[in-house]
Amino acid sequence: MPSRSSKLQSTWDEILSEIRKSVNPHRFNTWLRPTRQEKLESGTLVISVPDAELQQVNEKFRPQIEQAIRRLHLDGTVERVEVVLAARRAPDSLEAAPAAPAPAAPPPLQKTLEFDTGSLKPEYTFANFVVGGSNQFAHAAARAVAEKPGRTYNPLFLYGGVGMGKTHLMHAIGHQTKALGRPLRIEYVTAEDFTNEMISHLRHDSMIAFRDRYRSVDVLLIDDIQFIANKERIQEEFFHTFNALHGAGKQVVISSDRPPRELSQLEERMRSRFEWGLTADLQPPDLETRTAILMEKAQLERTKHPQTLELSPAVAEFLASKIKSNVRELEGAMIRLLAYCALKSLPVTIAAAEEALRNLLNQQQRKLDIEIIAKAVAESFNLRVADLKTRNNSQHIVFPRQVAMYLTRQLLDASLPEIARFFGGKHHSTVIHSIRKIEQERQVNQTLARTLAHLSEQLR
Ligand code: ADP
Ligand code: MG
């Protein structure tokens, strides 16, 4: 008798309730909630997961699982935990399913993963992808495509800025399609590699092989298509590949740094074809999502390198609040912080983060130098930067200049002499006076308050 039918709560459920106390909710929902106890026999607790990619759950949460077992005094009962892939039953066979599924045990992970993961990065799975408002739609579309390639949205066109997770989602589609165990040919290629391969085949007079290769796949994932926008010959070739695949009901997934209509150098017929299916954008993630991504990455890092220090949610949020530009940079900053703390034997605190990232943060801030602020302010007052830098003290220049000084101090934390130097070599007491004046004025002047808010938003 499987233990779950004899008790209200299975042993695994008890363990889960314990683990839950120490794992962040997003991770719990992604990894642990979908697990089920299959059986508990001679010290082996067998749990099942619905997706192949979740089979790492055991490795990922080993310390937490072991701790929970000890805390619940289950050490004598559970000696090891094994993870299997849940058997997928056709709905009509449910009734006929045997009560004890012992002989038809689900295949172990190694078996299911015996496909060629080729150029797909192992970590870029759906399970490791954090879903937030900024990417929800693209994520749902990608999942739908992975479930039924060629039959839902075809092509799927994903677009968004650098580091928004386009490549990650494409790989995840590849992994998931494979994990569902269908004998499909999946090809992931960047538009750049596609181009290089084609050039090499052209040179070796082997275009037939090239065409065969790309026209025989079931799922073509082509990344960063903007790369071929200004290359006519490549476009032509891709156009035919696309048509051949699409016409045969094969799935095409395309990514780009901008929407089809903005790929201005791309032929019109291609652009319109890209819009046949579904277009989904990935926006920059908000603070909460960035924090969750960091927690996820830190955990991944720990599974790869167990000695990696732990990242607390507070420190993750601190990093995420400082680095907004893109997830890749954020990840880099985290790795650097953890390495820094490990080398210096420091606990991973916000103070340590501030110290470790000073260089990095300064770099980010330097990008936004005084010149840029001055330019934005000048534009909004219909002036030129040069006007703000003159010694001209007529009122229509003095006021914008004060605004620019104020914003420079706010956004850059620049020193007073530095600001004074930039704006026409004033004495730094003039700068202090200017900043105070704007600060006071904004309290009572709504228009000014709005202008300032607008400018800082634009500059941040
Ligand atoms: P893009 O292709 O849009 O430039 P990538 O897919 O290469 O971006 O993502 C950059 C990095 O950020 C990768 O390490 C990726 O795993 C990570 N990343 C981006 N978005 C997410 C997300 N929502 N969840 C988890 N990781 C993410
Ligand atoms: Mg990419």
Ligand 1: which atom is nearest the Cα of residue 282? 3
Ligand 1: which atom is nearest the Cα of residue 285? 23
Residue 4 has pLDDT above 70, yes or no: no
Ligand 1: which atom is nearest the Cα of residue 223? 2
The DSSP secondary structure of 145-185, one letter per residue, reads HHHSTTTSSSSEEEEESTTSSHHHHHHHHHHHHHHTT----
Ligand 1: which atom is nearest the Cα of residue 124? 16
> 409: part of which helix (H) or strand (E)?
helix 395-412
CA 255 to ligand 2 center in whole angstroms? 8
Residue 30 has what DSSP assignment? Answer: I
CA 418 to ligand 2 center in whole angstroms? 39
Answer whether the bond into residue 347 is a cis peptide, omega within 30°: no
Residue 288 has pLDDT above 70, yes or no: yes
Ligand 1-lining residues (CB < 6 angstroms): 124, 128-130, 135, 160, 162-168, 293, 296, 327-328, 331
Q: Which ligand is nearest to the CA of 162?
A: 1
Residue 433 has pLDDT above 60, yes or no: yes
- The pair of structure tokens assigned to 78 is 């559970």
Rg for the chain, CA atoms, rounded = 28
For residue range 115-173, list pLDDT tens digits in order: 344 678 999 999 999 999 999 999 999 999 999 999 989 999 999 999 999 999 999 99
Ligand 1: which atom is nearest the Cα of residue 255? 2
Find all residues with CB under 8 Å of 70, minimum gap 6, and list them.
Answer: none
Ligand 1: which atom is nearest the Cα of residue 131? 23
- Ligand 1 pocket test, pick from 136, 167, 168, 254 with the greatest ligand atom count within 8 Å of Cβ, gives 168
> What angle separates helix 446-459 from helix 428-444, to the nearest 10 degrees?
120
Report the alpha-carbon angle 5-8-10, nearest 5. 75
Residue 359 has pLDDT above 70, yes or no: no
User: What's the pLDDT at 362?
Assistant: 64
Residue 415 has pLDDT above 70, yes or no: yes
Report the alpha-carbon angle 157-324-289, nearest 5. 65
For residue range 70-105, list pLDDT tens digits in order: 888 788 788 888 888 877 543 333 333 333 333 333
Residue 5 has pLDDT above 60, yes or no: no
Residue 42 has pLDDT above 60, yes or no: yes
User: What's the pLDDT at 191?
Assistant: 95
User: What's the pLDDT at 104?
Assistant: 37
User: What's the pLDDT at 110?
Assistant: 30
CA 170 to ligand 2 center in whole angstroms? 9
Look at 46-55, 305-314, 374-383 and tell me which has the smallest mean pLDDT.
46-55
Q: What is the mean pLDDT of residues 216-238?
A: 93
User: What's the pLDDT at 118?
Assistant: 60
pLDDT > 90 in the chain, percent: 45
Report the C-alpha gap between 111 and 179 in whole angstroms. 11
Atom 14 (ligand 1): residue with closest C-alpha?
Answer: 328
User: What's the pLDDT at 340?
Assistant: 87
Find all residues with CB under 8 Å of 219, minimum gap 6, and list them.
Answer: 149, 150, 173, 174, 177, 184, 185, 186, 187, 250, 251, 252, 253
* Cα distances (Å, whole numbers) of residue 417 to 23, 63, 365: 49, 54, 18
pLDDT band at 422 (very low <50, low <70, confident <90, very high): confident
User: What's the pLDDT at 363?
Assistant: 56
Q: What is the mean pLDDT of residues 365-382?
A: 81
Report the C-alpha gap between 285 and 326 in whole angstroms. 8
- Ligand 1 pocket test, pick from 281, 300, 319, 328 with the greatest ligand atom count within 8 Å of Cβ, gives 328
CA 198 to ligand 2 center in whole angstroms? 21
pLDDT band at 364 (very low <50, low <70, confident <90, very high): low
User: What's the pLDDT at 8?
Assistant: 61
Q: Report CA 346 to chain centroid distance, whole Å.
A: 28
Report the C-alpha gap between 404 and 384 in whole angstroms. 12
Report the C-alpha gap between 157 and 280 in whole angstroms. 6
Round the average pLDDT of the chain to a whole number and report it.
Answer: 84
For residue range 289-333, list pLDDT tens digits in order: 999 999 999 999 999 888 889 999 999 999 999 888 789 889 989
CA 291 to ligand 2 center in whole angstroms? 20
Q: Which amino acid is at 31?
A: W
For the entire predicted model, the pTM comes to 0.60
CA 286 to ligand 2 center in whole angstroms? 19
User: What's the pLDDT at 391?
Assistant: 82
CB 135 within 8 Å of CB 285: yes
Ligand 1: which atom is nearest the Cα of residue 135? 23
Residue 260 has pLDDT above 80, yes or no: yes
pLDDT band at 454 (very low <50, low <70, confident <90, very high): confident
Of 25 and 70, more confident:
70
CA 165 to ligand 1 center in whole angstroms? 3
Give SS3 for 223: strand
Atom 18 (ligand 1): residue with closest C-alpha?
Answer: 165
Q: Which ligand is nearest to the CA of 163?
A: 1
CA 216 to ligand 1 center in whole angstroms? 29
